[in-house]
Structure 1
C-alpha cells in the first residue's frame, strides 16, 4: 500500500475541508471521542482553518484522502482553547495548535502519525512559533464505551517530546453517539518546544 502526504494551505486547504469533515465524522465516532457529527457542526468548526496560518496535511491513497491532520496558530483557533493558556508564560502568538489527526483504520501503522506531526511542526516553525500544542479528550476511567483493547497514544506523544500541561484544560461541546444534545467535554493540553 502506497500512501503519500501533501501539505495544503490557502485554496488547496479550503478545497480539502469537505474531506477533513468526512474523516472527522468517521474516525471520531470511535473511542475516546464518540462524536456523532453532522455537516452543520463540521462547517462551523472548520472555519478556524480558513486562517492564513492554517495547514492541512493530507494522506492520500492515489487521489483518495484517507487521513488528515490540521493545525493553525493558537490565536486563530477557538477562544476556549486560547483561554486555557491564560495563566501560562507562553503567549498565544508563540503557540501553534496541532488539532486533529484523523486516519482511516486500515492506514494506521504506516508511520503517518509521525508524518502528520513532522509536517505541522515544520509549518509552525515557518510561522515563527516556539511551541506546538494539542489536546486530547479526557474520558472517565471505566467508561462503558471504552474498548477492552484500547491503548492511549501517550507513549507516541511523549516520544515526540510532548508532555501534558498540568491544569491546562479546555471544555468543548459535541454530541456523543446516542445523545440528544451536545455536552461539554474536558480536553487536556500537551505541548513541546519547537
Structure 2
C-alpha cells in the first residue's frame, strides 16, 4: 500500500540516506542526467531539517519510492537572489518547492499532486504568498533526450504555475558520462497561493 508522510525537522534525519539514494537514481535520467554522489547528497539534504522546510515522502510499505522537498526561499538566497533580482516579490514571500523525485513505476498515480499539496500546505502554514520551483532546461536536440519524453509543463500549468519570463538560475553538476561539472539553466515557475 502506498502512503505519503509529511516530514519536518528532526524527522527528516531518519530518511536522509533513502532520499539521497532516490535522488541519485531518479535524477540520473532525463532531463537531469545527474551523476550523483551519496556523500554530497546526504550533506545537501541536511538543509531540509531546518525550520520551515518540509519533505513529503511516499512509501510502498517501508520502501521510499518518491519524495518532494521544500523550504522558505530565503534559505536558498545565495543560489536564487540573482535570478529574482528584478522581480517584485521578496524572497521571504516565496516558498521554494525544490526537488520532486519518483521512481518511474510509481508515476501516474496522483503522487505528483500529493507532493505539491504537501509543500503548498507548508507554504501557507508559513504565511507565504507564492510557491515557486525551477526546472532544468535542455536543448530539444540533446542526444540523450528520449524520443518519448513528455515535459511536465501541462501538469504544472494545471496546478496554477506559470514560467517566469527571464527568471533563470544556473547550477553546476556533472552529467552522466561527462568529465566534469557544467552549468545548466533552470527556469523558474511560480503561482500565487
TM-score bracket, normalised by the shorter chain, equals over 0.9
Counterpart Cα distance in 2 of 1:99 and 1:159: 18
Counterpart Cα distance in 1 of 2:128 and 2:3: 26
Partner of 1:99: 98
CA shift digits 1:134-160 (9 cap, x unpaired): 000000120000000000000000000
CA shift digits 1:30-63 (9 cap, x unpaired): 0000000002321342243132111000001111
Counterpart Cα distance in 1 of 2:16 and 2:165: 32
Partner of 1:116: 115
Counterpart Cα distance in 2 of 1:115 and 1:43: 24
> TM-score, normalized by length of structure 2?
0.97
Q: Which runs of 4+ in 1 moved over 2 A?
A: none
Q: How many residues align?
A: 193
Partner of 2:141: 142
1:48, 1:78 within 8 Å by CA — same for their partners in 2?
Answer: no
1:78 and 1:177, CA in 2 relative to 1: closer, same or farther beyond 3 A?
farther
Partner of 1:152: 151
Partner of 1:171: 170
1:75, 1:92 within 8 Å by CA — same for their partners in 2?
Answer: yes
> TM-score, normalized by length of structure 1?
0.96
Counterpart Cα distance in 1 of 2:5 and 2:42: 22
Partner of 1:43: 42
1:134, 1:191 within 8 Å by CA — same for their partners in 2?
Answer: yes
Counterpart Cα distance in 2 of 1:5 and 1:78: 29
SS in 1 for 2:155: helix
Partner of 1:58: 57
1:78 and 1:44, CA in 2 relative to 1: closer, same or farther beyond 3 A?
farther
Partner of 1:161: 160
Counterpart Cα distance in 1 of 2:142 and 2:122: 36
